[in-house]
Structure 1
């Protein structure tokens, strides 16, 4: 018979570990846990602990560790199946009957594990070849030590489209495709999924390879995604997998915490710095299943996402998904990195002690929720403040646990009242003095920034209109848009829809925007920009190319404008020659950017006119 992981999890959840252990071992209550003298070795003072919430026992003396099934096999001496049958009878669960299809599926999974293990061994070997020099150079630039490189199993996928197939010729092509290692295209020869990339194996909770993450090495390939993960396969489900969980789980039992970061390289950087209890989702927002996996390890995982706008959006997506699942003592903590930095950047600049200081003082989930909504929109009128309260209460309504919902409602109402109706304070009398001189500014800069405000809105509106007209392009550019600092909230809504697996159809996406109180862009908003993707009946390849270029400009713009604003403020403060030169240099870049934008729009229009003329002639 085959026992699925889901069935075994249900069995463990239905049986209280302490009640089983207490039949043969005397337990003493100690806070949220139980303590006892270890039954596996002789000791005078108790070092054996039992934690029902986490579902495991652990001895700090001899290292004995396991769940309720492991207890029955190790302490009672039962076989695995005998232990399962006895616990199932106690829990009122029927043991699944033998299933030939399940047995065949288990055999199939074993074969796929062999494929992935063979691929990992081959990738590791390719890292040491002359062709793997680029990958070795990248690893050297990250300054990973030999132990870290060995532990995470870095490898290299050669550039050839058939290299993996030739190396793993003992496996049928159908197995390589099913394992996610090759891509099958209609009427074309299948080809290797990972090519000319640094590879990292992805493991399941038992430490078996179930997929790969691969990083691009050629910076010139701007259209290729920076990171590429295996697709969903019979072994790999990105929504049910956390990178590095098989190492972080045991480490979390020692440290009492689990740290969630955005990407695999962040996990590896933390491990190299001595923080072994870090995991990362697989390129998507945290799912409900992943949150439950984290809560089995610790009661309050720490989210440590990047300090940019995209990182904070990712943190809020995790918060909103966690709210309906909250239960007593289980929540999230949030650490905000310095602006523009990820954990690896902070460690390199200030050392691991700086990151540890942030992890030691995280925000609560409630604090994150309050601060995000308070700062999400201007609060200049009574209507604005009423909107803040409505947003807060909408979040509260998603909480399922009645006690937690009531406590959140009361706390957020108290904070809103203190913010919206602060006590009046008497102003301190001061003798009238001479007013401070106004800060000096370059009027030319101010004039040009105001002049470009309209084009700034036009570009955002044009790209939004293009994505709604060509929704299939959202999947291609979702990562870039998610990590860009875009002010228009409609981009975040579209990225959320992509992450949630919503149908990429114009009518459906417009409905999602309307449900959030947002509307599709009006053509008047982007009338000054005649991109090819905005013109009816434009050839698909031209529309795709022009939209990709427009998105490139949209993503580049916020960083450029922020740098220009900072340089202008610095010049206003000290009026130095250096500050003025930096301001002028960035202003020149901004003017070049605007010229590129105008040229791109007109160039796309000319290309479409030429294509139309040729079609008419034919």
Structure 2
């Protein structure tokens, strides 16, 4: 095994043991108060741990297991001080293990009690890069292999909270809103399900991150959904308040494409008082609309016509024109025209009271 990976493995073992042995400490108390106390159980597949508030505890542990100082530094677990001692990078923090696509422990993400930064990552090393690792992957590899739907969230606490809802979901996190192509491929590599759910925080950064992820996930998964959270709430906070609230949110998903359409329309709101702005907004969202499932396009035609104050035939014409520029997979212009016609008529003829 790579020496750097081995060093991270030994560090994870120490951190895990420290958390279990400090059930009266702030880290265990924090997890219990947030309904995440199952992480303290010895049978938990999540390697959640605690980095003790001592400069050399981890270094001494690694040395006693035959890891030399050069490896400790190269693994990003400690740094030399001006006086020549090695000081541990993670101290007095709850730790989560980050794994690479081969499921190797390559680094850590660690949460502080109150200091800044709240989350601290392993610095980039020969085995760890933030954009090429995920937290939660190994803990739920069996669940993913059994068909659990991946749920991509921002933080480690969020991922763990999702995992506690049941075997049908697997919380994974890139540790932030910047999901990378490599991380998307990691999820696809280990997930059997052909669906994926984005559940970033309900703030500007989270919404923008969810939108960006669409281009990465859509080529890899048949269905890309978004679960929207209440304003200023994250999954872990929602779970802490009431697990049922998070379960409800994760069940009330919609296509991420529809979310992206709404976000794009919102960018044009200031120019929708004149025809040129209305048409420009329609042309901006058309490439997204034509990628929707067939049974949802007709509804979008009616909705866009009402929102943009345009005739439905104008909306349909722009969508048809868009097919030639950016065709929907497996759909011809004739197919789309039929979708538009059927969907529009179905929507118009529905019972107003339904």
TM-score, reference length from structure 2: 0.72
- 1:349 matched to 2:241? The reply is yes
Structure 1 residues 149 and 304: CA distance shift in structure 2, 3 A: farther
Unaligned segments of structure 2, at least 5 residues = 313-354
Unaligned segments of structure 1, at least 5 residues = 1-108, 425-618
Structure 1, residues 118-149: CA drift from partner, whole Å, max 9, x if none? 21222233335679822222223223344665
- 1:278 matched to 2:171? The reply is yes
- 1:420 matched to 2:326? The reply is no
Aligned pairs, how many? Answer: 301
Once residues 204 and 406 of structure 1 are traced to their aligned partners in structure 2, the CA distance between those partners, rounded to angstroms, is: 33
Once residues 406 and 186 of structure 1 are traced to their aligned partners in structure 2, the CA distance between those partners, rounded to angstroms, is: 61
- Paired position in structure 2 for 1:339: 231
Once residues 260 and 23 of structure 2 are traced to their aligned partners in structure 1, the CA distance between those partners, rounded to angstroms, is: 49
Correspondence list, 1:142-161, <5 A: 142-146=34-38, 149-150=41-42, 151=44, 152-161=46-55
TM-score, reference length from structure 1: 0.43
Once residues 187 and 133 of structure 1 are traced to their aligned partners in structure 2, the CA distance between those partners, rounded to angstroms, is: 31
Once residues 295 and 213 of structure 1 are traced to their aligned partners in structure 2, the CA distance between those partners, rounded to angstroms, is: 22
- Paired position in structure 2 for 1:174: 70
Match of 2:105 among 209, 214, 235: 209
Higher relative helix content: 1
Match of 1:250 among 128, 132, 142: 142
Match of 1:391 among 284, 302, 310: 284
Structure 1 residues 294 and 158: CA distance shift in structure 2, 3 A: closer
- 1:311 matched to 2:206? The reply is yes
| Structure 1 SS opposite 2:98 | strand
Higher alpha-carbon deviation: 250-259 or 185-194: 185-194
| Structure 1 SS opposite 2:199 | strand
Give yes or no for contact 2:34–2:240 (8 Å, CA) kept in 1: no
| Structure 2 SS opposite 1:277 | strand
- Paired position in structure 1 for 2:330: none
Correspondence list, 1:434-449, <5 A: none
Higher relative strand content: 2
- Paired position in structure 2 for 1:263: 155
- 1:183 matched to 2:79? The reply is yes
Give yes or no for contact 1:204–1:246 (8 Å, CA) kept in 2: no
Structure 1 residues 118 and 368: CA distance shift in structure 2, 3 A: same
- Paired position in structure 1 for 2:324: none
Structure 1 residues 272 and 416: CA distance shift in structure 2, 3 A: closer
- The structure with higher relative contact order (CA 8 Å, sep 6+) is 2
Structure 1, residues 427-457: CA drift from partner, whole Å, max 9, x if none? xxxxxxxxxxxxxxxxxxxxxxxxxxxxxxx
Structure 1 residues 292 and 284: CA distance shift in structure 2, 3 A: same
Match of 1:360 among 242, 251, 256: 251
Once residues 198 and 265 of structure 2 are traced to their aligned partners in structure 1, the CA distance between those partners, rounded to angstroms, is: 20
Structure 1, residues 568-593: CA drift from partner, whole Å, max 9, x if none? xxxxxxxxxxxxxxxxxxxxxxxxxx
| 1:171 Cα deviation from its structure 2 partner | 1.8
Once residues 293 and 28 of structure 2 are traced to their aligned partners in structure 1, the CA distance between those partners, rounded to angstroms, is: 55
Correspondence list, 1:528-539, <5 A: none
Structure 1 residues 294 and 313: CA distance shift in structure 2, 3 A: same
| 1:334 Cα deviation from its structure 2 partner | 0.8
Match of 2:7 among 95, 107, 115: 115
